[in-house]
Amino acid sequence: MSTMKDRMLAGELYIADDPEITADLDRAARLTERFNTGSADDPQGRLTTLRELLGSLGDGTWVRPPFHCDYGWQTHIGPRSFVNFNAVFLDVARITIGADVQIGPNVQLLTATHPIEPAARRDKWESARPIAIGDNVWLGGGVIVLAGVSIGENTVVGAGAVVTKDLPPNIVAVGNPARPVRTLEKAI
């Protein structure tokens, strides 16, 4: 018989107040609090906390506090990437962020979903789908990326866009829902 955490990791419906899951939430809450309230005079201490919180963190990557996530260990950020103030990563499913990614302030990566059916929602069922952000992507301020979305390498998503579907590589996308408005030259 699978546990609620097994169901969560498999992308199936699960109930989040399961004791094993809430223990992981509590761990992440303690570590994000330590990261967010750490001294600006101790960047190495903040980096150590971030490495303990996240699934992986590439060399030369920085996340500016405050930062919020559900679990932390479901988030993987590649090298030389930057995450600006007030990022919210609801990492119920895996979030994969490539190398050299720029994430503006107030960006939300939301893997969590809830049933549309009222009874299932009332009974506290939820699920999640992963998010993947390719190398050298730029997410402008206030971008929201929804569950199950992949964004191709070199793509730029304009400020305030809501990404509801996959975006291909080498484009500029804007709006709600985000839509391609320009093709970019491939990087050399």
Q: Give residue 2's pLDDT.
A: 87
Residue 175, beta-bridge partner list: none
| CATH annotation of 4-183 | 2.160.10.10
Are the C-beta atoms of residues 172 and 185 closer than 8 Å to each other? no
Q: Domain residue spans in the chain?
A: 4-183
> What does pLDDT average to in each consecutive run of 10 residues of the chain (188 residues)?
90 93 97 95 95 98 97 98 98 98 98 95 95 98 98 98 98 98 82
CA distances from 144 to 22, 134, 147, 172, 179 (A): 25, 16, 10, 15, 13
pTM: 0.95
Q: Give residue 105's pLDDT.
A: 98
Active site residues: 114
CA distances from 93 to 2, 61, 147, 157, 180 (A): 17, 21, 8, 22, 26
